[in-house]
């Protein structure tokens, strides 16, 4: 009887546990049909504890879907193999897109723990697919027979993407090499998350705490007030806090009369990740670089850069280096002239010191005021964030005939977030757009665009995109709205350009939207061109108090000063691009001493001491935790494209409808559905030339 009782009790306990698990799953929004507007994420219902079960179920479903392909007894066809692959993993993709988005923009310790836990699990899951020999055999058979198949241009591209993805994912490796490949990917996934986590902690730190009012000399009132409010939020009421987020530290460097404090804050910023504390990133990044060499070698490439660039427009590291060097020489020459101008002002003021990197922004602001009677504080009142955002929307509307309509019935993940429905001029729904523009401790630094759901049109079922833009612009204070710098304005327009690329996508397959990294910045950077055009400034640059448009004399000053500081801006950017390439053209897996390696890299190109690289290795998130390794050069590569493309508008008019329609149809809607240079030439009529970029930056 005792045994029977124990068995019944076990069954009852198992039933209770199963019921509890089922109920828990029933409460998990990822396992329900979303009845929200346009099936947007129900952020109010999504809790941290929902992610791991949803990830696990998503991977389980994905495995079943992959198994169905590999056990299909029919000969492979595009429909029963590639299209099924495109449709697989929907739950996993949904969970991962939302988790990754929130972990970047609104994270916490629990989210970061999940990120560290799930990274190696996802790495293994993805490797299980990439290294599945039966699946690869089916894809390879289609690829080998591709010329005999009746495929559209887009289908050929998608097939090529899958085949290359498998090969680059290790499908052709021996079993022994596959095991090593898996271990490398697993370790890289963990290190990337750790780098990002450490850098976030370093970036949200208090860079400078001021308790003596005299140390605020030179700072505008709104900068002082923002610092006081920051101090209060950090438990330092009665003091003034400047963080290492750009909206906080840049104004301090621009206006503070206290040179020793500028140096202190500047050094704190460039030393992020290099403080020999628990958040140090040196060992992490040197290990990442070494592992990337090993992985590239396994796949038959000399360096990580060779591996990455093989699928980019640039194709080879030597092409990137040549491109960078061609720009470096005129940029460095221009920067040398700028050094002389700044040093003359220092001397004129009776100072005996030589210009240093922490002096540049401060004296550049003074030179700009002296040369052009213009400084940032004259412009900020006309760049209220809400007006700038509406201005960017209006530019998109005039170019592409679309509308951004605010929706208050769609859930958000933070009160700072605004939501817009995007429609065609005739009212047809295009997609959903979230904007999230203010810094907080739960958000990583910088600005970016991303998707929660990609557009697709398989089997005649059109899926509309859900897109977001994130930034870190100045927060409103007690008596002022968010007022932006010229750089902030350009950034907002830039990210909306990325957003439009996602929103206006019109491909059949999601895979066809992927474009080379050195092309992806074209849609974003071309949008920046409109921001400071007089016709566009008249649309949105209104004084936040009076509503008066920006005076013509101020607009003229902006136009006259457009070549100002271009040497500095180009040099600091190019220095980071060289640093990226040097890290990723290593040919052996010896882990480097980071400070020594970085110094040698920047000395080799002749970087002048008055300018620091835009990023240091220890805080270069683009290449060590983002998707830009061997690809940071792509911003200026795409700048050649966008300068040339914008000339097409200048040759007609800013809002010429034929030109805008061609850009939308051939660039924004096409994604990577065919060779991107073919797309570009269809729009422009010829390959781009560097001349327009050199002219724009005054480097010719």
Residue 632 has pLDDT above 60, yes or no: yes
Residue 5 has pLDDT above 60, yes or no: no
CA 265 to CA 253: how far, in whole Å? 8
* Residue 591, both tokens: 């882990």
Q: For the chain, give the mean pLDDT.
A: 95
Those residues with Cβ within 8 angstroms of residue 411's Cβ, 6 or more apart along the chain or in another chain: 36, 40, 41, 42, 43, 44
Residue 3 has pLDDT above 70, yes or no: no
Q: Which CATH class is domain 282-374+567-624?
A: mainly alpha
Mean pLDDT of 144-155: 97
DSSP state of 237: T
The DSSP element (H or E) to which 422 belongs, if any, is strand 418-424
Q: How many CA atoms lie within 13 A of 463 on its CB side?
A: 21
Q: Where are the domains of the chain?
A: 32-172, 205-270, 282-374+567-624, 381-560+634-696
Domains 282-374+567-624 and 381-560+634-696 fall in the same CATH topology: yes
The CATH number assigned to the domain with range 32-172 reads 1.20.1050.40
Active-site residue flag, 669: no
The three-state DSSP-derived secondary structure of 342-408 is HHHHHHHCCCCCCCCHHHHHHHHHHHHHHHHCCCHHHHHHHCEHHHHHHHHHHHHHHHHCEEEEECC
Q: Are 346 and 370 in contact (CB under 8 A)?
A: no
DSSP state of 626: S
Residue 19 has pLDDT above 90, yes or no: no
Does the predicted TM-score (pTM) go above 0.95?
Answer: no
Per the residue annotation, which of 365, 495, 528, 679 is the catalytic one? Answer: 495
Q: Which of 48, 67, 20, 47 is nearest to 117 (CA)?
A: 48
Please write the tens of the pLDDT for every residue from 429-457: 999 999 999 999 999 999 999 999 999 99
**What local confidence, expressed as pLDDT, does residue 1 receive?**
32
Percent pLDDT > 90 in the chain is 94
Q: Which of 293, 285, 96, 125 is nearest to 191 (CA)?
A: 285
Q: Are 472 and 375 in contact (CB under 8 A)?
A: no
Q: Band the pLDDT of 661: cuts 50, 70, 90.
A: very high
**What local confidence, expressed as pLDDT, does residue 24 receive?**
57
Fold of 381-560+634-696: 1.10.1370
User: Residue 444, SS3?
Assistant: coil
Q: Band the pLDDT of 11: cuts 50, 70, 90.
A: very low
Backbone angles phi, psi at 470, to 5 degrees: -125, 140
Residue 622 has pLDDT above 50, yes or no: yes
Backbone conformation region of residue 420, classed left if phi is above 0, alpha if psi is from -120 to 50, else beta: beta
DSSP state of 278: T
Please write the tens of the pLDDT for every residue from 344-400: 999 999 999 999 999 999 999 999 999 999 999 999 999 999 999 999 999 999 999
Q: Which of 408, 453, 449 is nearest to 431 (CA)?
A: 453
- Which residue is associated with the tokens 């470096």? 328
Residue 18 has pLDDT above 70, yes or no: no
**What local confidence, expressed as pLDDT, does residue 23 receive?**
53
Mean pLDDT of 170-177: 98
Q: How many CA atoms lie within 13 A of 661 on its CB side?
A: 3
CA 417 to CA 664: how far, in whole Å? 27
CA 613 to CA 87: how far, in whole Å? 43
Q: Band the pLDDT of 9: cuts 50, 70, 90.
A: very low
Please write the tens of the pLDDT for every residue from 304-329: 999 999 999 999 999 999 999 999 99
Please write the tens of the pLDDT for every residue from 98-141: 999 999 999 999 999 999 999 999 999 999 999 999 999 999 99
More confident site: 698 or 337: 337
């Amino acid at each position: 009887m005792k045994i029977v009782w124990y068995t019944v009790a076990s069954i009852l306990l198992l039933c209770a546990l199963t019921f509890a698990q089922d109920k828990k799953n029933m409460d998990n929004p990822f396992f329900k049909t979303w009845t929200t507007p346009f099936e947007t994420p129900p952020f109010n219902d999504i809790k941290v504890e929902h992610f791991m079960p949803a990830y696990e179920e998503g991977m389980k479903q994905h495995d079943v879907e992959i198994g169905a392909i590999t056990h299909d007894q029919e000969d492979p066809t595009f429909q029963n193999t590639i299209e099924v692959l495109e449709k697989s993993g929907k739950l996993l993709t949904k969970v991962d897109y939302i988790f990754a988005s929130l972990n970047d923009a609104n994270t916490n310790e629990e989210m970061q723990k999940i990120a560290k836990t799930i990274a190696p699990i996802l790495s293994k899951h993805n490797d299980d697919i990439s290294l599945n020999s039966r699946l690869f055999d089916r894809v390879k058979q289609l690829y080998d027979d591709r010329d005999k198949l009746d495929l559209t241009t887009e289908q050929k591209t998608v097939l090529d993407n899958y085949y290359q993805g498998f090969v680059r994912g290790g499908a052709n490796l021996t079993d022994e090499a596959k095991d090593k490949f898996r271990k490398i990917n697993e370790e890289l996934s963990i290190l990337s998350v750790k780098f990002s986590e450490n850098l976030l902690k370093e970036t949200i730190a208090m860079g400078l705490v001021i308790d003596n009012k005299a140390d605020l000399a030179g700072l505008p009132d709104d900068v002082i007030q923002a610092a006081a409010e920051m101090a209060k939020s950090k438990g330092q009421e009665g003091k003034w806090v400047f963080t290492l987020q750009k909206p906080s530290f840049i104004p301090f460097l621009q206006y503070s009369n206290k040179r020793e404090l500028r140096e202190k804050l500047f050094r704190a910023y460039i030393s992020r990740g290099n403080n020999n504390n628990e958040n140090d990133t040196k060992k992490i990044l040197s290990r990442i670089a070494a592992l990337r060499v090993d992985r590239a070698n396994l796949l038959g490439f000399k360096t990580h850069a060779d591996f990455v660039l093989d699928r980019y427009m640039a194709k080879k590291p030597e092409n990137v280096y040549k491109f960078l060097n061609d720009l470096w020489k005129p940029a460095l020459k221009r920067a040398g002239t700028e050094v002389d101008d700044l040093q003359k002002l220092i001397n004129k003021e009776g100072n005996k010191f030589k210009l240093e990197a922490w002096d540049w922004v401060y004296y550049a602001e003074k030179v700009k005021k002296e040369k052009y009677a213009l400084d940032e504080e004259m412009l900020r009142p006309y760049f209220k964030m809400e007006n700038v955002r509406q201005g960017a929307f209006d530019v998109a509307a005039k170019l592409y005939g679309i509308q951004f309509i605010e929706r208050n019935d769609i859930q958000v993940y933070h009160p700072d977030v605004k939501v817009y429905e995007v429609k065609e001029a005739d009212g047809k729904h295009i997609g959903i757009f979230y904007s999230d523009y203010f810094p907080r401790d739960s958000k990583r630094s910088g600005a970016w665009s991303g998707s929660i759901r990609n557009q697709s049109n398989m089997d005649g079922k059109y899926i509309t995109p859900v897109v977001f833009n994130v930034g870190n612009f100045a927060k409103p204070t007690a008596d002022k709205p968010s007022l932006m710098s010229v750089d902030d304005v350009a950034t907002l327009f830039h990210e909306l350009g990325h957003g439009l690329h996602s929103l206006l996508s019109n491909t059949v397959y999601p895979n066809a939207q992927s474009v080379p990294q050195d092309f992806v910045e074209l849609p974003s950077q071309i949008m920046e061109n409109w921001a400071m055009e007089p016709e566009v400034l008249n649309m949105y640059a209104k004084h936040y108090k009076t509503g008066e448009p920006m005076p013509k004399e101020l607009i003229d000053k902006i136009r006259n000063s457009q070549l100002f500081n271009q040497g500095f801006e180009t040099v600091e950017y190019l220095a980071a691009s060289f640093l990226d390439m040097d890290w990723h053209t290593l040919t052996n897996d010896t882990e480097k001493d980071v400070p020594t390696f970085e110094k040698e890299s920047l000395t080799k190109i002749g970087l002048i001491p008055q300018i620091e690289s835009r990023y240091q290795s220890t805080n270069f998130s683009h290449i060590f935790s983002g998707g830009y390794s061997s690809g940071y050069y792509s911003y200026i590569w795409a700048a050649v494209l966008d300068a040339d493309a914008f000339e097409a508008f200048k040759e007609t008019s800013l809002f010429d409808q034929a030109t805008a329609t061609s850009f939308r149809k051939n660039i924004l809607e096409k994604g990577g559905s065919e060779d991107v240079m073919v797309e570009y030439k269809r729009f422009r009529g010829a390959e781009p030339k560097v001349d327009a970029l050199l002219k724009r930056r005054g480097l010719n």
